Amino acid sequence: MPKSLPDYLKSRHAPEDVNAKHRQRLKFHDKVAVLITSAIGSMYALYFFIIFVFGWMLWQSVSPKPFDPFPYIFMIFISNIVQLLLLPLIMVGQNIQAKHAQLRAEEDYHTTKTIHQDIETILTTLSDLKKT
C-alpha cells in the first residue's frame, strides 16, 4: 500500500461510463444496425408480423379475386426477401451489442478487483490497528 491516502487513491481503478465510451466508438452504420436490431428484436415487431401474416391470409381468403390464393406463394416470397435483408443486419447489430457487453464485463471486473483490493487494505489496516 502507498504511504499516503492520496497516493493510494490515485493508484486505484476509477470506474468509467462504458455506455458513453461505447456510443463514442459507434459509427453511423453501426448505430443504424443497433437501432434496427433493437426494433426487430422487440415484441412490437413480432405483433406486427403476426398481424401482417394473419391479415394477409384473411384478406386472401375473403377476397372475391385473391391475387395470392391458398398456398400464399407471394407472401412467402415477400417474407423470404425480408428475412434475407434483415438477417445479416441483425447479426451485425448483435455483434455490436456483444462488444458492448464485453466492455461492460471488463469494467465490472476491474471495478470488482479494485473493491476487493480496497477491502483487503481495510482489513489489513484494521488488523494492524487491533495489534497496537
Summarize pLDDT for 43-59 with one digit per residue, the tens. Answer: 999 999 999 999 999 99
Q: Which residues fall within 8 angstroms of residue 118, CB to CB, at 6 or more apart? A: 12
C-alpha span between 14 and 2 (Å, rounded):
17
pLDDT value, residue 42: 93
User: What integer is the mean pLDDT of 31-39?
Assistant: 90
The SS3 of residue 18 is helix
pLDDT value, residue 121: 87
Domain ranges of the chain: 20-131
Global pTM? 0.66
C-alpha span between 100 and 21 (Å, rounded):
9
Phi-psi region of 72 (alpha: psi -120 to 50; beta: other; left: phi over 0): left
Summarize pLDDT for 92-127 with one digit per residue, the tens. Answer: 989 999 999 999 999 999 999 999 988 998 999 899
> Which of 99, 104, 79 lies closest to 33 in space, CA to CA?
99
The answer on pLDDT for 6 being more than 80 is no
DSSP H helices, 26-72, are 28-40, 43-62
pLDDT value, residue 87: 92
Cβ–Cβ < 8 Å for 9, 122? no
Query: Which grid coordinates are listed for 126?
Result: 484494521
